[in-house]
Structure 1
Amino acid sequence: MRDLIACCGLDCEKCDAYLATIRNDDALRKKTAKQWAELNHAPITPEMINCLGCRANGVKTPYCDSLCEIRKCTLKKGLSTCGSCPHLENCQIVGEVLKNSDDALQNLKGEKI
């Protein structure tokens, strides 16, 4: 599985934080911070929009680094992604992501790690 498939199955290569980081795009950082702050009712600044992917080495957004319950669960269980977990189909932690993204579920089901 590609390192840029997140623990939850989302594709980090399509994430605006990842795109802003690899392109060093301050306008995209600003736009993303504004959108995410509004969506999450949280103080998110453009300086926080730096991420190379939740499973890749390097910088991560504060959320991906230490707040994401999905990532914390996979790390605690020693898994690469939720795709390796026997409880994937009934998991409430990753359930919202999978309910809203057919691609994420396909990415996780394709994993054979």
Structure 2
Amino acid sequence: MKEMIAYCGLDCEKCDAYIATINDDQELREKTAKLWAELNNAPIFPEHINCQGCRVEGIKTVFCDSMCRIRQCALKKGVDTCGDCSGLENCPTVGAILEDNPSALKNLKE
């Protein structure tokens, strides 16, 4: 599995925070912070939009680093991704991601 596939199966290389970080794109950071702040009704600022990927060493957004229940569960269970967990098919923690993103489930099964 590609190391840039997140624990939940999403492709980090397609995430605006990742793209803004690797390209040092301040305009994309600002746009992403504004959108995420609106979607989450939370104070998210451009300086929060830095991430090098969910499963790799390096900087992560605050959400991905310490608030993502999926990432915390996978780390606790010691699995590479949710695809390695026997409870994947009925998991309420990752279920919403997989329901809205069929490509994430495909990534986890590859």
What letter is aligned with 1:55? R
What letter is aligned with 2:72? K
Query: Per-residue CA shift, 1:6-42, capped at 9, x if unaligned?
Result: 0000000000000000000000000000000000111
Match of 2:78 in 1: 78
What letter is aligned with 2:23? R
Identity %: 64
Structure 2 residue runs without a partner (length 5+): none
Match of 1:16 in 2: 16
Match of 1:48 in 2: 48
What is the Cα deviation at residue 102 of structure 1? 0.6
Which portions of structure 1, spanning 4 or more consecutive aligned residues, are displaced by more than 3 angstroms? none
Structure 1 residue runs without a partner (length 5+): none
Match of 2:34 in 1: 34
Aligned length: 110
What is the Cα deviation at residue 91 of structure 1? 0.1
Given the two structures, how large is their TM-score scaled by the length of structure 2?
0.99
What is the Cα deviation at residue 77 of structure 1? 0.2
SS in 1 for 2:72: helix
